[in-house]
Amino acid sequence: MSAEIRTRLWIRNEWEDAASGETFPSTNPATGEVIAQVARGDAADVDRAVVAARDAMASKEWSRINPHDRSQLLFRLADLIEAHGDELGALETRDNGKPYFEARRIDVPSTVGVFRYFAGMADKIFGETIPVAGPFLNYTLREPVGVVGCITPWNFPMNIASWKVAPALACGNAVVLKPAEETPLTALRIAELAAEAGFPPGVFNVVPGMGEEAGAALVAHPGVNAISFTGSTEVGRIIAREAAQSLKKVSLELGGKSPNIVFADADMKAAVRGAATGIFYGKGEVCAAGSRIFVEASVYDEFVEAFAARAEGMTVGDPMDKGTRLGAIVSEAQLDRVMSYVEAGKREGARLVAGGERVQVDGKGNFVTATVFADVTPEMTIAREEIFGPVAAVLPFDDIEDAIAKANDTAFGLASGVWTRDIGKAHRVARDLEAGIVWVNTYNMYDPGAPFGGVKESGYGPDLGYRTALEKYTRTKSVWVAVDR
Provide the annotated active-site residues. Answer: 253, 287
Residue type, 430: A
- By the 10 Å C-beta count (0-12 exposed, 13-18 middle, 19+ buried), 483 is classed as exposed
Q: How many CB atoms lie within 10 A of CB 196?
A: 12
142 sits in which H/E element:
strand 136-144
First-to-last alpha carbon distance for the chain, in angstroms, is 67
Q: Which residues contact 229 (CB under 8 A, 6 or more apart)?
A: 150, 151, 235, 236, 239, 250, 251, 252, 253
Please tell me whether residue 219 adopts helix, strand or coil conformation: helix
Q: At what angle do helices 85-96 and 108-121 cross, to 10 degrees?
A: 120
Report d(CA 353, CA 349) in Å as an integer: 12
User: Across the beta sheet with 129-130, what order do the strands follow?
Assistant: 129-130, 136-144, 474-482
3-state secondary structure (DSSP) of residue 144: strand
Q: What's the rounded Cα separation, in Å, for the pair 178 and 205?
A: 9
Q: DSSP readout, 18-74?
A: -TT--EEEEE-TTT--EEEEEE-B-HHHHHHHHHHHHHHHHSHHHHT--HHHHHHHH
> Residue by residue, what is the 3-state secondary structure of 260-327?
EEECCCCCHHHHHHHHHHHHHHHHHCCCCCCCEEEEEHHHHHHHHHHHHHHHHCCCECCCCCCCCCEC
What is the SS3 assignment for 86? helix
| Distance (Å) of CA 405 to CA 25, 259, 312, 378 | 45, 11, 31, 11
Contact indicator for 53, 147 with CB cutoff of 8 Å: yes
